[in-house]
Structure 1
């Protein structure tokens, strides 16, 4: 049974817990590789009713990018002005857009919370996403993300690949390999459906112990070589199983080596607001940020 990133956090909440450069997703990320050393480039925020007011000091680790996993889910909007019902107590975008970790924003568009339903309705979600991307937002989108996740068990993933032409660029999608088909086979599968002007974010699988950080790095190396580094981003899962179907934040000595293993890639942490808390931020800054030079 597949457990997706959205299943993990939404379940925890319920229980209380070859193209022109301008169109390449990574074109706007190039500056990040020339910045001072950073453990991470940004964080992902899975917005839902239990997490609408986020605060953190993720910039201490080098983060200057916030990716919103979606701004519309199940027909409800988390930003005003989209012609859809808006959630109560919507996020304070005026404050959020002024944070140092939101200098760049990757904006996830429309989805459904249930992943199989989202896949079945991918055409309608692309249509809705294209419409909301044309609306005025309370922040500037440096890039876009289409929030229907893919994996090799999705037989109709090619349908999504073809539909992505309707969405604005730069554009990203994400994929995972819980079937462990291997890096080369996974890259073959990705190349079979991903448009050449769309970037891939790879969910590392470390959070659910699907693979080690070293194995995830190998996937990243293969995908980066196949797609080009400007079209690849590593999603570092900052959670671990806590038993009874619950998740906990990764410990300092779990997450630190994981982030060091991914140096050289663009790194977004999932999910920053839920799992990358103040204590962990300070520990990483103290214990692991100084190791970047020795990590190469």
Structure 2
């Protein structure tokens, strides 16, 4: 069944090999070509969702989804299923549960998310502890490794990027209105619950794929840092979106290429986040300087 599902995904290998024509020695290796293509597909999605995550104040939400990767992978290994499918499926389930608890509980959003977060992490640890040796297979998801992305994951990223594009075109204004005032949005005919659940599901899928790139420990940074940098540089909501895209793409590509240099030799995911944080620091200094000038 999994082979049939993989066959339905688009073949991205020709496009990945085309990137090998760039005049960079590190891109001669096939795994580097696939990693670069994965970054080019993933970075715009994390940037777009990161802007909404900041607007909705949902950083803790994305962190909870990222940590659910352990349970999703553990279930896949336990039942001899491909984690490429079990991890996103479980992540979407957790995301929808968090949104349901957030909408239906009288508790604060952080408290509701914290309860589901604790349950998911405990469930994942319980599943891992039942099977000796499974913990060793979880290390790659803890730290991430974009260099190990496979053709099936590239195809899934391409489909997800198309879905993300359609979602942004159809729902960006609705999501902004919901973030500002959900009651007013409902009064104007926006189906608030539908868009919130759709956003939670899409965010969960993107976070799960981002775990493969930078790991559970850094996945929230991949969403938050480019969007926070864009807030320093942009003057409008549209400007923030495009600045986040630019910062995410630059950080992803520069971090990947730097990590491949023999004189550096650092983990690709960590290097990507460090480049993004350097961009954030520069933007913060620039914004502070502009503020002093206006004063």
What band does the TM-score fall into relative to the shorter chain?
A: under 0.3
**Higher helix residue share:** 2
TM-score for both structures, normalised by structure 1: 0.25
TM-score by length of 2: 0.25
User: Which one has the largest radius of gyration?
Assistant: 2
Task: Report which of the two has the higher share of strand.
Answer: 1
